Amino acid sequence: MATVHRTTMEPTKLELLTGWLPKQSWYEGSGETPDLVRAGGFRLDDPEGEVGIEFMVVADAAGQEPVAYLVPLGYRGAALEGAPDEALIGTSEHGVLGTRWIYDGAHDPVVLERLRALLRGEAKPQQQSVSDTPDPTVIVHGGGADQGVDVRINRVLRPSETEQGAPGRLVAGWIWPDGTAVRGELAAVAPQ
């Protein structure tokens, strides 16, 4: 199980995402600098213990209405060979682990493999900020997807009360800047 260190990161994850997020094609902001706050998320363990994996939900409060984004993150102790330039969110100095290369998990093979394992029911979601603690609020509906499944990551999150639907749906919650708690689909098995 991954250890969540109580330490500093310079720059912080939110500082890195503030610069990176507006450059993404799926960003819904209107040109202003994002005003990001942590809104939710969870972690997955890398069985090899090499890659930190976090599915972070951030809410951008800069516009008239807040927008929630899902950013899967892969934290590595060295650059990811063969990764496209746009995959690197940035580097940060971790107070315990030293320099960390932080990647958009949609381009990190370990992050994607662990997400597939979660959708197959072979991985357990962990709380975002507490070591060795499962997060029972993160639910996979209709798990048991096959080994080679493709996944769709929902980058812009929409609240959805419906818990039914197609199998292989990853549902979790987040909190809007005004304190309202909601749930919605973060990822799903991609249709074939």
pLDDT tens-place string over residues 101-134: 999 999 999 999 999 999 988 999 998 878 778 9
**Cα atoms in the 13 Å half-sphere on the side-chain side of 56:** 23
At 15, is the pLDDT very low, low, confident or very high (cuts 50, 70, 90)? Answer: very high
pTM (2 d.p.): 0.91
Percent of the chain with pLDDT over 90: 69
Q: Which residues face 72 on adjacent strands?
A: 55
> How far, CA to CA in Å, does 65 sit from each of 26, 61, 174, 189?
16, 7, 15, 29
Alpha-carbon torsion, ordered 4, 7, 8, 14, to 10 deg: 30
Buried b (16+ CB within 10 A) or exposed e, 148-184: eeebebbbebeeeeeeeeeebbbbbbbbbeeeeebbb
At 98, is the pLDDT very low, low, confident or very high (cuts 50, 70, 90)? Answer: confident
pLDDT of residue 146: 59
pLDDT tens-place string over residues 57-88: 999 999 889 999 999 999 999 999 999 989 99
pLDDT tens-place string over residues 134-167: 999 999 987 655 556 789 999 999 998 665 556 7
pLDDT of residue 192: 62
